[in-house]
Amino acid sequence: MKIYITGIAGLIGSTVAEEAVKRGHKVWGTDCDNRGKWFGPNGSVQWRIAELSAMGVQIHREDFRQRLGLVGGADLIVHCASQPSHDWSRAHVVKDFTINALGTVELLEAARNLSPKATFVFMSTNKVYGDAVNDLSYVRDGERLVPALTSFNEGVDEDFLVDKSLHTPFGVSKTAADLMVQEYSRCFGINTVSFRCGCLTGPGGTAVEMQGFLGYLVKCAVWGIDYMVYGHEGYQVRDNIDAADVAEAVFRYAANPIGGVYNIGGGPENSISIREAVFYLRDHHGLNFRVSWLGPPRKGDHRWWVTNTGRFEAEYPGWKRKPIKEIIDALVASEQRRRGTPLGDAPIPATTIDA
């Protein structure tokens, strides 16, 4: 299979690429390391570009919108490139929308003209649902919040409202892209799917404070960096999924593309509050780091989010996810090895590059 990936050096893009190489697929992609420009050197994906290049992956260090012709000849297009931060989007509304929404339209149009039979996988987000979950009633259960309504015990499914709530410009731009991905299927017959992802994590990521909750928390714990909790005193809950399990979902879908929309996340069993994660890092790993619990809440952030993945699991039986404690353990081990050698699980020092 021939696979083209945008944002190929990011968490999901690089993990899909790495797994594709292992499976013998031909892989190429684009990444201009915008993360290094937006979030500073610690957000750069230069190290991941070096790793993938060493594996033989062809990476064009350009904005995907400048190399739309690269979709030609692809059997599978995995669109991961995006501006991923609520806070950044509020300060750069037009740039955010241009990248996330209009960029996706440009890529879809290129796919329609150059690879009309390809499968188009769009990495969407649970932020398409806005902050409507914040209007639910919650109670504290130990060190976490839980919904008072038992109907949400399995999490939020794909029928949840996407309007009548606060999204931030990031959420709106991703929702616009998500809808257009669906429209290219309905209107033009392109084989598309939107994966509405929850909290994504894994050793292949370059987490920063503005984006990448669990990875950034582990980084702070390992390096002894002060960690700020934004809102809700750390009782807020996220379900987390390892990027390798998202990659597996991509390949399972590509083998039998049905089309539509799927919520992709860790599910109830992989949910964890910030407090629970902090205490696990302290108690299980012996990592002592300072936490400020009373930071201001971020606009548009969820008090609680757990993904109901029942639709995907029903249509793609056998898909499994790494348990949350194993995910954290792997992140800790990876972070403890990092920044030492140029390859493997210890990336080279992060620096920005020019597009």
Q: Is residue 349 part of a domain?
A: no
Range of the domain at 292: 2-337
| Structural domain contains residue 109 | yes
264 to each of 77, 187, 268, 308, 322, how far by Cα in Å? 18, 25, 12, 8, 13
In this structure, is residue 346 part of a structural domain?
no
How far apart (Å, rounded) are the C-alpha atoms in residues 219 and 336? 9
Residue at 97 is within a domain: yes
**What CA–CA distance (Å, rounded) separates 194 from 123?**
6
**Rounded CA gap, 175 and 195, in Å?**
12
Residue 22 inside a domain? The answer is yes
Is residue 75 in a domain? Answer: yes
pTM exceeds 0.85, yes or no = yes
Sequential pLDDT tens for the chain (355 residues): 999 999 999 999 999 999 999 999 999 999 999 999 999 998 999 999 999 999 999 999 999 999 999 999 999 999 999 999 999 999 999 999 999 999 999 999 999 999 999 999 999 999 999 999 999 999 999 999 999 999 999 999 999 999 999 999 999 999 999 999 999 999 999 999 999 999 999 999 999 998 999 999 999 999 999 999 999 999 999 999 999 999 999 999 999 999 899 999 999 999 999 999 999 999 999 999 999 999 999 888 999 999 999 999 999 999 999 999 999 999 999 999 874 434 444 333 333 222 2
Q: HSE of 79 in the Cβ direction (CA atoms, 13 Å)? A: 33
Domain tally for the chain? 1
Domain contains 342: no
Residue 348 forms part of a structural domain:
no
Element (H or E) spanning 314, and its range?
A: helix 310-315
Q: Return the closest-CA partner of residue 6 out of 110, 158, 128.
A: 110
Distance, CA of 196 to CA of 129 (rounded, Å): 10
Token pair belonging to 6: 């945008």
**β-bridge pairing 58-60 and 144-147:** unpaired
CATH number of the structural domain spanning residue 324 = 3.40.50.720
Helix H segments across 167-212? Answer: 168-188
